[in-house]
Structure 1
Amino acid sequence: MKKKSLLIILIIIVSCNQISNTKDLVLENEILMSKSTSIDYDLLLINKPFSQEEKNIQKENVRFIRIDNDSLVGGSFWIKNDSLEHYYDAKNLYEINHKNNTIIKFSPYKNQEWSIYGSSITGAVKSGKYFLKKNILKKIYSKDSVKNSKPKDTVIDNLQLKMLLYNAKDNPPYTNLQYKHFLSNKNLLKRVEFSAKFKDQTQYDEWNFSNEKFDNVTVEDFKKSLKLLTDIYEVKEYKPRESIKLLENGTKAPDFSGQNFISKDSIHLKQFKGKVVILDFWYMTCMPCIKAIPFLNKIHSKYSKDNLTVLGLNPFDNNEINRNKIPEFIKTHKMEYSPISISQTVRQKYNVTGFPSFYIIDKTGEVVYSKVGHSNENEKEIELILDKILK
């Protein structure tokens, strides 16, 4: 009887230990990650940007090897999907294209960091931080408000998981920043969710991990794999495309036609002869474009009585689905100037490859200002020019 009672007590103790608080669960995960030098897993990435209803889905196989002295990533990696492979040796990044039998070599430490953190592999690389970087979860869940909280039991895809929840501080203009981390009973991170709001728009990111293997690959394995490929594929150094410059000051602004998204009225640039015109090239899912709207509203209101016209030229949202979204977008972001649908030909005439792009056209029809991107500095430049030519 005593032995039976003792067994029951032990079972209760073990069960209680399994239901850890957030602090203990995070610590156990950190210990597990620190025991290995490499990790291999399949990754399902789901992303929904602001102002987009459709989700982007990527499937990749990801392998990371921890290298402590690599300041950029924290280690070496090999990322593979259906179309491309990317190998980073803690110095160079190799993009392997099996369709055209080529390897493009990038130099992330020589002003090409974007090849890792501004490309199609960014989401996969970010997933590796939970293995490569020390105390990642600990830093997130070290706040008194969450470290002693109890993880929530949940089931996803028939997996029994424990969910950790962290509501981060607002980062204006973004609000409702929320992280969810899901760990298995073996303290493996199986899923990460992140969401944030911008006005009434929501961004959602999800990383799903499966088929994890530890210490299954070495640096030598990576080197041998690359050697096999370089023996049969041509290796080329990345060369940036020659940048296309916006039209220079003094250029006669090319005439164009377009249609107002709301009123459906046709417009031509030539009908604004004798006025100063600001052209704003934008599209709905461009966050820098959205951030520029309040400033464009301001100058539209401030200078419209002085013969200024602001035209928001959109070359991308011309299909039926996006056209139907435009009225709600304009209402949400309180766009007060004219939203104009234009063709790609107009974009090409003005050499626009980055968004937003701005032009100021004076009363004689000549370009007096052009700039790619939105910033506080650009706003000051535009107002100075307007104050000068609208006197």
Structure 2
Amino acid sequence: MRSIIFMILICAVCGFRTSSDLKADDVLKRMADKLNTIKTLRYQYNREISYPSENYKASTSASIFIDFSSKDTLLGFRYQINDAGYTNVFNGTEQFDLNERDKTIRLRQQPSANSFRSISYFYNSIPTLKRIIPAVLSDETITKELTEDDEYYTVLLSMNKRAFNYLEGFSAITAERVINYRIFIDKTTLLPRRIIQTNNVNDDLVQTDFSNIEIAAPYPPETSWYYSTYTKEYKPKEEKVLHPIAVNTMAPDFTLPGLQDSVSLFKLRGQVVILEFWIRNCGYCISAVPALNNYPNVFAINVHDTPADIALFAKNNKATYKMLYNGKKVAEQYGIDAYPMVVIVDKAGKVAYVGSVNKTAIDDILKREEAVAHSR
């Protein structure tokens, strides 16, 4: 009997590690387990972006309510996001935005997963951690280190040529770069309080903070979840729907200023031309640079950034192709509203390709155009 009691005591002690024995995986697992017990959560989200390499700074703040009890939704949760002048709601089937400035409402019925990728409040957020930590724990290529002080565990994650996606999964980075995430976890609540994202190349930094965290937060009023509640006070937002230009149609002509000189499309007739529509504050546009550097006759049409910022982007990311600016109207002519997007114009001035910066697809189009030229 005495030996059985002794074994029970040993098992009980072994089930708990002192903080000095903890590893990063242990703390991440505890945080994930804690997040999985939460049904409703309200917190203040604050994000500071400082990109000295791009001469860019921005800050964002919002109050966020998450209902994790709704497991049958597209995301696995419902949410309401409120910042100054803006509200975004997803009730499981409808997603809609309220704009307080012009009193308009925009509805997306039966949204797809892509509909949530543009919601910046999920960037390095608590829902993102909840969904991505299991993948982090199972990935042995991610370096994990743990430090601590009296209040926080701090887990440092380092991953090569990858970054967190919004909500789940990872996005690939073509440039040689290590992305670091420093996650501060409250020792008492086991909840994340801060994420600092850096890299090994420059001083660019993104910091997100979570404050006023309320577990088991009371639900917002039931009527606040439904689009129909707001239709008397808000008018439907009239948006210009852009449709990408069709293949085999004539590419609209344009003349745009460039960092070196202006460029007119009609003067390039007789050559295969690659047009890239892009904006500066876009990770995928950065990732596209090495691929586009491999091609001749690439003209990068920036939609709204200043020439100084475009020049800094080209210098920092070693872009060797020509940079054009003031391209908003041209982007609209070509039906482009997502970035980066490539349009290939053949020697006759017709559109041969419209799509993402996909090396395989671009190579196939260029080989086909070359074969057509040789057959004539």
TM-score range normalised by the length of the shorter chain:
0.7 to 0.9
- Which of 79, 84, 88 pairs up with 2:90? 88
The 5-angstrom pairing of residues 167-186 of structure 1 reads 167-171=158-162, 173=174, 175-186=177-188
Once structures 1 and 2 are overlaid, which stretch shifts more, 91-100 or 288-297? 288-297
The answer to whether the aligner puts 1:162 opposite 2:153 as a matched pair is yes
Could you tell me whether the CA contact under 8 Å between 1:249 and 1:366 is conserved in 2? no
Secondary structure of the equivalent of 2:116? helix
The answer to whether the aligner puts 1:338 opposite 2:311 as a matched pair is no
Identity of aligned residues (%): 16
The answer to whether the aligner puts 1:190 opposite 2:193 as a matched pair is yes
Structure-2 change in CA distance of 1:346 and 1:214 (3 Å):
closer
Secondary structure of the equivalent of 2:174? coil
Once residues 211 and 256 of structure 1 are traced to their aligned partners in structure 2, the CA distance between those partners, rounded to angstroms, is: 52
Could you tell me whether the CA contact under 8 Å between 1:282 and 1:357 is conserved in 2? no
Secondary structure of the equivalent of 2:42? strand
The 5-angstrom pairing of residues 226-375 of structure 1 reads 226=225, 230=229, 233=232, 241-246=240-245, 249=248, 251=250, 253-259=252-258, 261=259, 264-300=260-296, 309-319=297-307, 321-325=308-312, 328-329=315-316, 332-335=317-320, 337-341=321-325, 344-354=328-338, 355-362=340-347, 366-375=349-358
Specify the alignment match of 1:119 in structure 2. 119
Could you tell me whether the CA contact under 8 Å between 1:20 and 1:150 is conserved in 2? no
The answer to whether the aligner puts 1:73 opposite 2:75 as a matched pair is yes
Once residues 142 and 247 of structure 2 are traced to their aligned partners in structure 1, the CA distance between those partners, rounded to angstroms, is: 55
Once residues 147 and 298 of structure 1 are traced to their aligned partners in structure 2, the CA distance between those partners, rounded to angstroms, is: 32
Could you tell me whether the CA contact under 8 Å between 2:63 and 2:82 is conserved in 1? yes
Once residues 299 and 142 of structure 1 are traced to their aligned partners in structure 2, the CA distance between those partners, rounded to angstroms, is: 38
Once residues 346 and 144 of structure 1 are traced to their aligned partners in structure 2, the CA distance between those partners, rounded to angstroms, is: 46
Could you tell me whether the CA contact under 8 Å between 1:253 and 1:367 is conserved in 2? no
Deviations 1:121-142 (A, max 9, x none): 4338x422446x5xx6566357
Once residues 293 and 129 of structure 2 are traced to their aligned partners in structure 1, the CA distance between those partners, rounded to angstroms, is: 42
Structure-2 change in CA distance of 1:252 and 1:373 (3 Å):
closer
The answer to whether the aligner puts 1:216 opposite 2:217 as a matched pair is yes
Unaligned runs of 5+ in 2: 1-16, 163-172
Which one-letter code corresponds to 1:194 in the other structure? Q
Structure-2 change in CA distance of 1:351 and 1:104 (3 Å):
closer
Once structures 1 and 2 are overlaid, which stretch shifts more, 225-234 or 92-101? 225-234
Which one-letter code corresponds to 1:76 in the other structure? R
Secondary structure of the equivalent of 2:211? strand
TM-score, normalised with respect to structure 1: 0.70
Structure showing greater radius of gyration is 1
Unaligned runs of 5+ in 1: 1-15, 155-159, 301-308
Once structures 1 and 2 are overlaid, which stretch shifts more, 141-150 or 378-387? 141-150
Structure-2 change in CA distance of 1:283 and 1:229 (3 Å):
closer
Secondary structure of the equivalent of 1:93? strand
Once residues 269 and 33 of structure 2 are traced to their aligned partners in structure 1, the CA distance between those partners, rounded to angstroms, is: 70
Deviations 1:132-156 (A, max 9, x none): x5xx6566357789999653328xx
Could you tell me whether the CA contact under 8 Å between 2:160 and 2:179 is conserved in 1? yes
Once residues 148 and 201 of structure 1 are traced to their aligned partners in structure 2, the CA distance between those partners, rounded to angstroms, is: 21
Structure-2 change in CA distance of 1:339 and 1:147 (3 Å):
closer
Could you tell me whether the CA contact under 8 Å between 1:51 and 1:285 is conserved in 2? no
Instruction: Give 1:34 shift.
Output: 5.0
Once residues 361 and 250 of structure 2 are traced to their aligned partners in structure 1, the CA distance between those partners, rounded to angstroms, is: 20
Could you tell me whether the CA contact under 8 Å between 1:21 and 1:147 is conserved in 2? no
Deviations 1:284-334 (A, max 9, x none): 44444444444444342xxxxxxxx44444453444x325515624xx435
Instruction: Give 1:81 shift.
Output: 0.6
Once residues 299 and 148 of structure 1 are traced to their aligned partners in structure 2, the CA distance between those partners, rounded to angstroms, is: 38
Structure-2 change in CA distance of 1:276 and 1:50 (3 Å):
farther
Once residues 276 and 262 of structure 2 are traced to their aligned partners in structure 1, the CA distance between those partners, rounded to angstroms, is: 17
TM-score, normalised with respect to structure 2: 0.72
Instruction: Give 1:61 shift.
Output: 0.8
Once residues 255 and 27 of structure 1 are traced to their aligned partners in structure 2, the CA distance between those partners, rounded to angstroms, is: 55
Once residues 205 and 318 of structure 2 are traced to their aligned partners in structure 1, the CA distance between those partners, rounded to angstroms, is: 20
Once residues 270 and 213 of structure 1 are traced to their aligned partners in structure 2, the CA distance between those partners, rounded to angstroms, is: 60
Instruction: Give 1:78 shift.
Output: 1.7
Instruction: Give 1:64 shift.
Output: 1.6
Which one-letter code corresponds to 2:257 in the other structure? G
Could you tell me whether the CA contact under 8 Å between 1:256 and 1:346 is conserved in 2? no
